[in-house]
Amino acid sequence: MVSRPALSKGEMDVARVLWDVGPAGVRDVHQALSKEREVELSTVQTYLRRLETKGYATSQLKGRARVYSAKAKPRTVIRETVDELVDRLFGGDSMPLVRHLIEERGIEQKDLDELRHLIDKLDRDGGRS
Amino acid sequence: MVSRPALSKGEMDVARVLWDVGPAGVRDVHQALSKEREVELSTVQTYLRRLETKGYATSQLKGRARVYSAKAKPRTVIRETVDELVDRLFGGDSMPLVRHLIEERGIEQKDLDELRHLIDKLDRDGGRS
DNA sequence: TTAGAATGCGTACAAATGTACTGGGTGCGT
DNA sequence: ACGCACCCAGTACATTTGTACGCATTCTAA
């Protein structure tokens, strides 16, 4: 895996949109992103270009319009980003972050069961490795 | 609460050291940080200055040496940072991050119990509010 | 008291980031 | 064929970030 330069905040926003809407032209991404925050079309364009330069997206001309597609998978980017955060904020130990999330941010009732299951599963697996 | 500019990665590193070692001079911070990565003294100095400018630290001269102290509490900074990450990466929903952490990063056996307790507690509380 | 060490301060500067304008081509309606 | 709308490539530029040098001053040991 070639190691790409990390995504900046703004780039991340655009990448997220791209994951959500799938392959799309500048116009589309701009519109989708505009629902979250105000931004110029040309700005979105620049981000998309940089995304491609950094290896997180590809593009190809479809007729007159350039269509961008996410290349890196969200899962991967998320992992890299979170890894970095955990390193920086907690010296690599993820438990404090989990604790923080559960304590400080509301977890939906309906998610609690899922969590419990996750934990049980880990418990079983961990019990034998 | 005055809203400070967010910390950059490098600043965060220095802030973390400052939290760890408590009030300290540039020299001390530099030494502590050097254990993690190579960096010039003057660089650390710049970071400390910026930390103070941004409102995350204070300093005062003790004799000839300037001693820096963390001002913002780690808890606060962590909350802000994580909030931002969750917004950006998951549109504000923290559950996916929790899931990711539990699935993708190893949770120590001994932490599983704690997690279970946390969840139970939340379950009780949430069941009523 | 004088040379060197220590130290803070100001300053520098390249790279990355956030944000955006413009010019030039291309396709469409008339 | 003409003008308008649309779209991309190139470029611009201020701010933030990463990284660091050198000067002035103060302390210290000889």
CB contact under 8 A, A122 and B101: no
List, as one string, the DSSP characters of B86-122.
HHHHHTT--HHHHHHHHHHSPPPHHHHHHHHHHHHHH
Tokens standing for residue A78: 């998320």
pLDDT tens string A8-28: 999 999 999 999 999 999 999
- Whether B43 has a pLDDT exceeding 80, the answer reads yes
pLDDT tens string B86-117: 999 988 899 999 999 988 877 888 888 888 88
Quickly name the fold that domain A9-70 has.
Arc Repressor Mutant, subunit A (1.10.10)
Q: Which residues of A touch B100 (CB under 8 A)?
A: 78-79, 82
List, as one string, the DSSP characters of A64-89.
TEEEEEE-S-HHHHHHHHHHHHHHHH
CA-to-C1' span, B33 to D17 (A): 18
Q: What is the mean pLDDT of chain B?
A: 89
The structural domains of chain B, with segments of one domain joined by +, span 9-70, 74-126
* Domain B74-126: which CATH number of 1.10.10, 1.10.760, 1.10.4040, 1.10.3470: 1.10.4040
**Among B60, B22, B89, residue whose Cα is nearest residue A97:** B89
Find the CB nearest B94 among A101, A109, A127: A101
What whole-number percentage of chain A has pLDDT above 90?
Answer: 64
pLDDT tens string A22-69: 999 999 999 999 998 999 999 999 999 999 999 999 999 888 889 999
Q: Which residues contact residue B31 at a Cβ distance below 8 angstroms, ignoring those fewer than 6 apart?
A: none
pLDDT tens string B45-65: 999 999 999 999 999 988 888
CB contact under 8 A, A122 and B102: yes
Is residue B129 very low, low, confident or very high in pLDDT (cuts 50, 70, 90)?
very low
